[in-house]
Structure 1
């Protein structure tokens, strides 16, 4: 199976599972079998976890440097968003945006290293 096909399959599986779980929870809530409080403001705090799940999905197993770095970027962005939104360590969006520049630079530095690593593993 080609790497792109495998990655597409994995993303489709993840989206499908998330939709099934969300739909089942809402259905159980509407049928009054489960009592959930769907307060969108409260749920908003947890949306970065979707990025973490999709980021880890891109990273494991790493099929290419581009996919690995995209996954790493998603996980970092989700962490940055959470830290900024919840003011962890007293940081806000205004104070913490330079972390995005650092992550971008780190990605630029890691790309050639990961290319070398992936190419050397293909030769074995």
Structure 2
């Protein structure tokens, strides 16, 4: 569940780990309603979820930055019963140099860049 920080929950110093739920039971959480997601975008998010669940993990280290991480469960083909694999996306945000953010993408699968590019193109054509 997404929690909004309050003066009582804000902690300074050290490492803070927080997880924000994005999808629950295949639907965006209520806090995302202000984003005006289209029905196509909701279907696309659900397609990339793990059984209708998706969360964003945030690791904050005061005076250093934040790491935002999310995992996408991606079907290897566009069919409904396709085998799936996970893609992990991490955004490293530097507190002192905001233009030097780093994006890391990885998977434990043996999939080459060409296959990922083709899959990405299929998703873009279907959901754009």
Task: State TM-score, norm by structure 1.
Answer: 0.24
Give the TM-score normalised by the residue count of structure 2.
0.24
Larger helix proportion of the pair: 1
